[in-house]
Structures are given as structure tokens and as C-alpha cells.
Structure 1
Amino acid sequence: MTGYVITLATSKGGAGKSTLARNIAAHWLNIGMKVAIIDADPQGSIINRHNPNGELSSLMVIAEPEESVASVIDELKREYNYVIVDTGGFRNRTTVRALVASNLALIPLKPSADDVAGALETHNLIKELNKTPERISNPIKYRMIITMSQQNTVIARHVRAELEQLGYLLLKSEMYHRVAYPESAINGSSPCVSDPDGPAARDINQIIKELVDYL
């Protein structure tokens, strides 16, 4: 088996990386896939809330905030369908090595000027990495995704339109602001498991459909 590797990265903290990573993993786990998360964020947002006896008990979660993340990815993708890497909200060697080892980079951003700036900085990092010997013949694919947005708001539409007009690639789906995410995260779970027919789970389902197409 050679699993797919998805790295979530942005240089702006608080963009919803960990929430998105946990819920993508939960969706795939819920439909019978073997999934592993590497928590490469020094804050440990995922590992610290993971409950090995809870609803996501079969989810493999490993804390690896060091530069050896690439070897951990290589090992896990031999055993798992999907390996999801949650990085810190800044540029460091761990993030760089995770991106180089990825099939797809997801760049989350809230509809705000600061988040857009962070997303563009991460996009520029990916462009740099695609010029390296490791990726020049196989460039890292990426998609930006708008997170924590309210449905049909002017600001979210404006941010999307501006980025698309400049040629950046965005998922059509968004991770909307839902109270179900922080509520389920208290127990290290996900609405994809606790409320699979609810609006948050449906949002994640739409995101997954797009991701599968790109992968």
C-alpha cells in the first residue's frame, strides 16, 4: 500500500488547520479507511485532545514536531490509506519537509486580510519547494480552502473572488463556522462520527469529494 499524504499548512495561526485535519480524518475513518494523523504542530492541538478510548479510538495519532517528520510519513503511508499532517502556524523545517513529502497541500484561511496574507506566504513557500530537485519534476499540488466562514456572506465571496481572479486554486467547498466542531473536539471527536447526518458532517463530505478528485 502507498497511501496519500495531505499536509495542512499556513503561516497564520488560528485558521482552522487542526479542526479540518481531525474532521477529514474522521470522515475517512467512518467509511472504513485506514487513517493516520501526524501532529507536527508544537502546540499539539490534535494529540492533546485525542481520546484513545473515545469515538476516534481507531485513529492513529502521532506527535512529530521535529525534522524527522518525513521518515515518519514514509513509514505510515505504507500502512495507511491516508496520512494527514497538521503543521504549526509558521514556516519551519518540519513544515517544509512535510510539504515535500505530500501529494497535496491544503492551505486553510478564514475570510480575513491576515489569513489571506498567511495563505499567500504558504503558497510562495510551495512555489519555492517546487523548484527543488525533490519536486521539480513532480510539483506539490495545492488547494486553498476557506474556513470558519458564514454561509453566503459578502466577505467570504469577496475573498474567494479576489483569490480566484489572481489565479489561486481554491476548493469550491468551505468549512463553515459550526458549533459542532468545538463541541465534539472537547472529547477528541468529530461531528462526522457523533452526528453524521448533521450540517458539519455534510460540509466535510463535500470537501472530501473534491479532495478525492484532486488526489
Structure 2
Amino acid sequence: MSAKAITVAQQKGGAGKSTITAQLAVTFALAGKRVGVVDIDPQGSLAMWFEVRKMLVDEAGGGITFLQASGWRLATELDRMKRDLDLILIDSPPHAETDVRIAVRAADLILVPMQPTPLDLWATQPTLDLAKKEKSTAIVVFNRTPPKGKLVDAVKAKILQAEMPVAETVLGNRVAFAASMMEGKGVAESNPRHTATKEIKALAAEIGAKLGL
């Protein structure tokens, strides 16, 4: 059976795309899924994380297949990976170029990370519009969310007014996510009982239910 593909996309930089991609990849791998990660962001943050992972965790990648691709190779490589894996997670750059469109078009689900701020809210709609244009299903994920406050409530209200699709799971502003990546891991590996682990597992379960994983 062909793998499901998830593209993590957001035109605004600093939304946490690479962190969410890595954390979900580890979480699904620990659950026994054959997971691939594709980094199409020229910044290469996930590529650096994966190099650390090979050095500190497992030289084979700790249950994750990794690929850095762009341009004409991207669609071909995605098709090849889909034959051998259960799930592919694609980390995209913060701008709408050809590679992003290919990744959005190839995905079964688009995750759009968004911090609960007005700037992130305003930047999110173009990504949702791109997903709609490519006939791809998209869902907004609150990320780096501070404790409940007036601003968070206000942004959530605006999202509901705009009828944006929003995940039930909310990821908090947790240092544990970044700390685990310094070790080439996901938080589910480095700190299984942490609140951050409960959150990323809940998001993985929500995604799995949507995609039939």
C-alpha cells in the first residue's frame, strides 16, 4: 500500500515547521510505522538534526529514512519513497515556490503550524489558499502556545470566524521539544513522561485517525 504523505507548510518563517516534522517523525517511528522525512527547505535544519541523530542515536537513522531533495527530483523521489514506507513527512520552506506546490499537491494532509499571534494569523491564509488550489486537505495546528490568555483566546476566536480547520491538539511553548532535537531525538525518546510528549502523541493520534494510519 502506498504511504500517506504529510506536508508541513507555512509561508511565515519561525512557525516551528522543522520541529513539528521531526517530533512527529520520531513519534510515528516509535509506534512502529516506517517513516520517511523529506527536507525541501534550503535552510536544511532537518538535515542538520538528522546528522546529529546518526551520530548520537543510531547511524542508520533510528527508524527514520531521510532525504534532502528539490527541483525535478522531488516528485520522483516522493513516488519512490511512497512504495517502501507507511508515512512521509515533508518539511517545506517559508515561501510558495515550485517545490512547495509539488509537496502540497503530493500530500494527503497539510499541517499548517501557527503561533497564536496576529502576524501568524494573517500569514496563514495564503497557505490554506494554496492547499485549496491544489485540492489538498489542510489543518491548522497551534504551536508554541503560551498559557491561556486574552491574546490566545482572541486569535482562536478569529480563526473560528474565518472557518479555518483547526486541530484539537494544541502544542505548548515547551523547551523540551528543542532540547530533544539537540540530542538528535524527539521528545518521546528523550523524555517520555513530559507534557510535551503527551501533546505530540495526541497530535500524532489525531493525524493517524484522519489518515487511517
TM-score by length of 2: 0.92
Unmatched 5+ stretches in structure 2: none
Corresponding residue to 1:59 among 59, 64, 84: 64
Q: Contact between 1:68 and 1:94, CA under 8 Å: does it hold in 2?
A: no
What SS does structure 1 have at the residue aligned with 2:113?
Answer: strand
Query: C-alpha separation between the residues in 1 aligned to 2:149 and 2:37?
Result: 32
TM-score by length of 1: 0.91
Cα 1:129/1:85, change in 2 over 3 Å: same
Residue 35 (structure 1) shift = 0.3
Corresponding residue to 1:172 among 168, 174, 177: 168
* Correspondence list, 1:1-215, <5 A: 1-50=1-50, 51-55=53-57, 57-130=62-135, 140-215=136-211
Residue 153 (structure 1) shift = 2.6
Q: Contact between 1:146 and 1:174, CA under 8 Å: does it hold in 2?
A: yes
Residue 38 (structure 1) shift = 0.1
Q: Deviations over 1:138-190 (max 9, x none)?
A: xx111001111113232222212211222110001111111111111112211
Query: C-alpha separation between the residues in 2 aligned to 1:58 and 1:214?
Result: 23
What SS does structure 2 have at the residue aligned with 1:107?
Answer: strand
Cα 1:47/1:95, change in 2 over 3 Å: same
Q: Deviations over 1:103-152 (max 9, x none)?
A: 0000111111221122111011122222xxxxxxxxx1110011111132
Of Structure 1 and Structure 2, which has the larger fraction of its residues in helix?
Answer: 2
Residue 54 (structure 1) shift = 3.1
Residue 95 (structure 1) shift = 0.4
Query: C-alpha separation between the residues in 1 aligned to 2:129 and 2:45?
Result: 25
CA RMSD of aligned residues (A): 1.3
Residue 47 (structure 1) shift = 0.6
Q: Percent identity among equivalent residues?
A: 24
Query: C-alpha separation between the residues in 1 aligned to 2:72 and 2:138?
Result: 21
Residue 67 (structure 1) shift = 4.2
With 87-96 and 58-67 compared, the bigger mean Cα shift is at 58-67
Q: Contact between 1:184 and 1:194, CA under 8 Å: does it hold in 2?
A: yes
One-letter amino acid of the counterpart of residue 214, structure 1:
K
Query: C-alpha separation between the residues in 2 aligned to 1:65 and 1:75?
Result: 14
